[in-house]
Structure 1
Amino acid sequence: MKKKHGCGSPDCRWVENPNNPVYMPQTPAYYQTVRFDAKKFKPFGPSAYYLMWYDDFSDFENGGGIALAASGNGIKWKFVSDLFGLAPAARHSRVLFDRHGFGINVPYRIWYWDSMFLSTAPNSPILPMLRTAKSMDGINWFDDQTLMQDTTSPDTFLMNSPSLPGPNNYSQCYGPADVLFFPENQAVLDVVSPFNNRYVMYYNVSDGFNEELALAVSADGIFWRREGPLPVLVRGGPGAWDEHKSTEGAVILRLAPDKFKMWYSGGIDHSNEGIGCAFSTDGLFWTKFPNNPVFSIYDGVVWRGGRSHNPWVLFDRKKFSGHGDSVCFKMWLTGGPFFSDYNFGFGDHPDIGYATNLADHCKCCESD
């Protein structure tokens, strides 16, 4: 154990807000991406310290829909708008904000799952289930297009590689788990060091039941090449709480060049059964926290007794400049008292909760 100085290292464990859920709109709310900006995202769209994009199933006919909410403290939220310009079946999104414009003069970029598709044609460079778009205000999106995969080698395919038969050739994908942006890196593909690339994406891979995470890199956020082992985050062994699912929604923090932390969704029958934690020195090979899951549907917490998943974590060395809890790490998670498959049937209404990290509440933190 080591003493905590400043922000220190995040613990795998969290202190849940006693008033959860903190966001309960009329529609379902899940798979949230939260961003914080001390300048309130001005002059780009809604003015607030926190913005949250989440699946709201507003386009029920097409099975999709993503919305935006805003907050001054990360706890009290207000619906802003549904998003426009994306595919009708848009779900499972990750949004990045860069007030310097990503080098292409747009402050917002989104990657998401087009839930009309699960897979791609064999040997095809087109990934119809994964899409990206740009925005000036976080609400109205343009240049919506499918992602492309590198097919020059069987090992570079994101999906449906022609020479990886059986369990190593995943044929389905439910979207991005997280997308990391490194503006200091050149907009040139680096096939040797994954984190020397401008964009790194962790994404879901599935054989139709088992779900894990893989990693891909990109110079422009559109054309992607898979790197590292397949998968990078492996599902649990027989009898483990995440025996069949170690997957999205997930969030990855790169705390130092050789220090990564991940929180991910997992379970046996469904990926909404709990939240696990893992750490890595290179972002490719991960060690799971021995006391996983850190949140579970079996915790006896009513509001998330049917769903406890989709973690999203923010880290701010300035402790969010006094806007909300003065802590270094904040989590938002999806919960629901019931679960009726992924069609959000009767009684299934996921909402969003909030938690602060155990390291912000104690005098010491984990040594990993």
Structure 2
Amino acid sequence: MIQNVKWVPLGTAGGWRKAAENPVIGPEYGTTFDLHVIKEEGIYRMWFSWRDVKLIAHTASTDGLHWDLPQAVLTAVPGSGWEGDEVNRPTIVVKDGLYHMWYTGQMFAKENQMSRSCIGYAVSEDGINWKRRQEPVFVPEEAWERYCVMCPHVLWEEEKGLYRMWYSAGRMHEADAIGLAESSDGISWTRVGRKPVFLPDPKNYWDMSKVEACYVLKQNDWYYMFYMGVHGDYKSAVGLARSADGINWERHPDNPVIAGDDDLWDFGGICKVSVVRENNGLRLWYNASNSGGEQIGMAYHEGFALFPDEEEVYVQEREKNPCKEGKFSYYYNRFALLDK
């Protein structure tokens, strides 16, 4: 008899499909992770975290699949008390002819120094050459944030005259929950409440442990949050939630919408995503891992209806993965305890 069965979703749901060409940025660069993509005049531009050299890099592509040789654009600052060890996890807003970047600066535990993550800010005229502020613009203060605020995602809301930043906080390696802050200038931030706006769900095994590293897309009257959920055995996938105000969230009924596939490059876990709206639907890039370092892949969604009640025909079953012919990604029992 099987007891304590934990069914872990594989593949995609909700109309998402992984690109057959995945990964689009492979192991030749080591570990590449948490990224942000925009599209300008037909060119995709990506800023990504580059673990092996502990910096933020930039690359470009005409099709979103084949990317130029990356170049370093923001590095750690030796001797800094908050970004001396590594910089990573960028988010980009283009406003008033300038590129605005918020990013994570990190210090790792060593003698006479505890781990800490803060959020910094930089500005650029071309997205390549950045001028940063010497001090962080957001630091851990609330009890739930512990010693780490990281993974910012920022939107400029014209009608409110505000930047809104969803951020992750808690532990250093993987944060615990997602909070929200607002700012009129992108530098001085005010938290929306003293608690997270999005928490793990103990009723859902796949995201019962942690939620973090979100990307928020504003579309019509909804905020859509793509977030990284971590399950009880510490494996991650990407879920989707929606909100009318950016504070109170409703999870997608078929979460996770993007999960790893058995025996493939992304089996070890799906992490942060970045989304671009196209003429006929959405494109999404994500970082994932298996036994080695992390790499970057892409997924598609035809049309813009993301929840079942937003469209007439809804795909409920998990999709067959085009990367592996004959493989049907569904639910599987990987962590069952067998009572013989």
> Into which bin does the TM-score normalised by the smaller protein fall?
0.7 to 0.9
Q: Deviations over 1:223-255 (max 9, x none)?
A: 10001572111111156211111111x211111
Return the alpha-carbon distance in structure 2 between the equivalents of residues 174 and 301 of structure 1: 33
Offset of residue 36 of structure 1: 0.3
Q: How do residues 185-264 of structure 1 correspond to structure 2 at under 5 angstroms?
A: 185=159, 196-206=160-170, 211-228=176-193, 230-237=195-202, 240-248=205-213, 250-256=214-220, 258-264=221-227
Letter in 2 for 1:260: Y
Offset of residue 286 of structure 1: 0.5
Query: What residue in structure 1 maps to residue 140 of structure 2?
Result: 159
Return the alpha-carbon distance in structure 2 between the equivalents of residues 270 and 110 of structure 1: 33
Q: How do residues 164-179 of structure 1 correspond to structure 2 at under 5 angstroms?
A: 169-179=144-154
Q: Which of 103, 110, 118 is the matching residue for 1:129?
A: 118
Unaligned runs of 5+ in 1: 1-10, 41-48, 102-106, 119-126, 150-157, 186-195, 320-326, 339-347
TM-score (norm 1): 0.70
Query: What residue in structure 2 maps to residue 323 of structure 1?
Result: none
Q: Which of 309, 312, 315 is the matching residue for 1:367?
A: 309
Whether contact under 8 Å (1:130, 1:146) holds in the other structure is: no
Query: What residue in structure 1 maps to residue 331 of structure 2?
Result: none
Q: Deviations over 1:286-312 (max 9, x none)?
A: 111122112223x32501011312111
Work out whether 1:292 is the aligned partner of 2:255: yes
Whether contact under 8 Å (1:307, 1:335) holds in the other structure is: yes
Whether contact under 8 Å (1:85, 1:144) holds in the other structure is: no
Q: Deviations over 1:24-49 (max 9, x none)?
A: 242321111001012x6xxxxxxxx1
Q: How do residues 51-130 of structure 1 correspond to structure 2 at under 5 angstroms?
A: 51-59=45-53, 64-84=54-74, 87=77, 88=84, 89-98=86-95, 100-101=96-97, 107-116=98-107, 129-130=118-119
Return the alpha-carbon distance in structure 2 between the equivalents of residues 146 and 91 of structure 1: 16
Unaligned runs of 5+ in 2: 1-12, 78-83, 110-115, 311-340
Q: List structure 1 runs of 4+ shifted beyond 2 angstroms.
A: 84-88, 143-149, 158-161, 207-210, 268-272
3-state secondary structure, aligned to 2:145: coil
Offset of residue 336 of structure 1: 2.0
Whether contact under 8 Å (2:152, 2:165) holds in the other structure is: yes
Letter in 1 for 2:309: S
Query: What residue in structure 2 maps to residue 124 of structure 1?
Result: none
Provide the identity percentage: 25
Query: What residue in structure 1 maps to residue 131 of structure 2?
Result: 142
Number of residue pairs matched? 283
Query: What residue in structure 1 maps to residue 290 of structure 2?
Result: 337
Q: Deviations over 1:116-168 (max 9, x none)?
A: 169xxxxxxxx97111111122222113333445xxxxxxxx7323xxx6xxx
3-state secondary structure, aligned to 2:71: strand
Higher relative contact order (CA 8 A, sep 6+): 2
Query: What residue in structure 1 maps to residue 35 of structure 2?
Result: 32
Whether contact under 8 Å (1:109, 1:132) holds in the other structure is: yes
Whether contact under 8 Å (1:111, 1:130) holds in the other structure is: yes
Distance 1:56 1:300, change over 3 A: same
3-state secondary structure, aligned to 1:263: strand
Q: Which of 243, 258, 264 is the matching residue for 1:302?
A: 264
Distance 1:290 1:365, change over 3 A: closer
Distance 1:19 1:85, change over 3 A: closer
Distance 1:259 1:228, change over 3 A: farther
Query: What residue in structure 1 maps to residue 9 of structure 2?
Result: none
RMSD in angstroms over aligned alpha carbons? 2.7
Distance 1:174 1:268, change over 3 A: farther
TM-score (norm 2): 0.75
Distance 1:365 1:159, change over 3 A: closer
Q: Deviations over 1:174-226 (max 9, x none)?
A: 513411113x35xxxxxxxxxx2421100002156761100000011111000
Letter in 2 for 1:176: C
Whether contact under 8 Å (2:75, 2:87) holds in the other structure is: no
